[in-house]
Each structure stands twice: as C-alpha cells, then as structure tokens.
Amino acid sequence: MADESSQLTRHSVRNFSDKPVDTELIKEIIAEAQHAPSWENAQPWKVYVAVGETARKLREANAEAISQGHKSWAEVTPPQAWADKPQQNITYWQHGMAAYMGDDVQSFRSAGQKLYNAPAILYITIPKNSTNYSAYDTGAFGYGILLAAEAHGVNSLPAYSFARYPDIVRQYFDIPEDEAILLGIGLGYATDAKMNQLQTKREPLDAALQIKD
C-alpha cells in the first residue's frame, strides 16, 4: 500500500472544539481544492464561508429552527428512495454506527442540531440549472477541500445537515437566486468525543469493480 495519505487518514468529525481555524488557512485549503478537475475546466462551484460570530449565529439559528420543528429541505433534495446498492451500504453504516455508539447513540443523532459546533462552515453552491456533470465536478472540489484540510491538520465533515435550512443561510450571505446550496462542509479541530473515532468500512473492491484483460 502507498504511504499513509490524507485519503486514508481523513474521516468525518462530528464534534468540533471551540478552537477557530485561521482564515488564511481556510483560503489556502480552498485554493488547493480549486485544482480539482472539472468538465472543460467549468469550475461550477462557489463557496460561502461562515466563521467566528457568523458561524455562531448560524449554529444557534439552526438549533432554534430544529427545536421549533421547522420543516425544511436543502435546495438539492435527497431522493425519496436510493438504489439497492447505496441503500444496502447506508443500512450497514447506520447499524454499524448504532452498535459503535451504544447507549450514547443519541449524542451522535443530535450532533447536527448545533452544526457539530463547527467553527468554520463552508456552503458550496452550484448553478440551479446544473447538469449531473456539475455535481460530479463539485463533488471532486468538495473532496479536494476535505483532503487539503486533512493535509493541513484540520478536521472536517461534509454534511447535508449544514444545508438543511437554506433560508437561514441566505440571511447571512448574498447568494444569487440562480445558485443552489448543494452541501455544507464543517472545518475545525476534533474533540476526543467518542463519535469522532467512528471507523467506517468500505465495501469489498469486487462490489464496485470489474477489470477485463
């Protein structure tokens, strides 16, 4: 196996400490991720970053909206049903997470209410009239952010939960109406909470691969 790289050490963190991430470092991470490939270099993504007081207000507003039972979906909605293969993997992950967390499973499930205490929240948008290829391009960019963050010693979480209340997010940023908030990424530094050590497995290579000679 190749030397241990960011791809192998990166994992999702769902409980961040209060330590802020330096804004210049955030810019460096995003600049590195901008090297992601995209369809004819289309670079369809944009990023809106909340730190400090703005991130704090967003965390509070999110918790308040959830406690009041406000129903909301992200602007790019998950499907009603997943295809068999992803659904099987999702179910496997859910069971593995519950077994790992044991009696403390509720802390995992509620970690998103205050946006995982992330000190920096990156909202990634794509044009509303995007094709699947723009989503593909932006996924590469998003993963680039996670890997660059890891290489700089910054923990991360890509999460739908960050983008669940787009109306709140739009109060804090000037996001044009023709852009959709695709996903949020939290950046920060992990606490030693149990949920941060959850190890996820990947399906056997054969389940996703065919090679013919």
Ligand X SMILES: Cc1cc2nc3c(=O)[nH]c(=O)nc-3n(C[C@H](O)[C@H](O)[C@H](O)COP(=O)(O)O)c2cc1C
Least Cβ distance, residue 213 to ligand X (angstroms): 31
| Region binding ligand X by CB under 6 A among candidate stretches 18-26, 37-45, 63-71, 153-161 | 153-161
CA angle 18, 21, 23 (to 5 degrees): 140
Q: Which residue in 160, 172, 173, 189 binds ligand X (CB under 6 A)?
A: 160
Assess 159 for contact with ligand X (CB under 6 A).
Answer: yes
> Would you state the structure tokens that stand for residue 123, as one six-digit string?
């909202």
Assess 161 for contact with ligand X (CB under 6 A).
Answer: yes
Helix (H, G, I), strand (E, B) or coil at 212: coil
Contact 20, 136 (CB under 8 A): no
Q: Which residue in 120, 183, 185, 187 binds ligand X (CB under 6 A)?
A: 183
Assess 196 for contact with ligand X (CB under 6 A).
Answer: no
Helix (H) or strand (E) holding 157: strand 155-159
Query: How big is the site for ligand X, counted in residues (CB under 6 A)?
Result: 11
Q: Which residue in 7, 86, 200, 207 binds ligand X (CB under 6 A)?
A: 200
Phi-psi region at 73: left, alpha or beta (left = phi > 0; alpha = psi -120 to 50):
beta
Displacement of CA 102 from its chain's centroid (Å): 24
Q: Which residues bind ligand X (CB under 6 A)?
A: 11-12, 14, 93, 112, 158-161, 183, 200
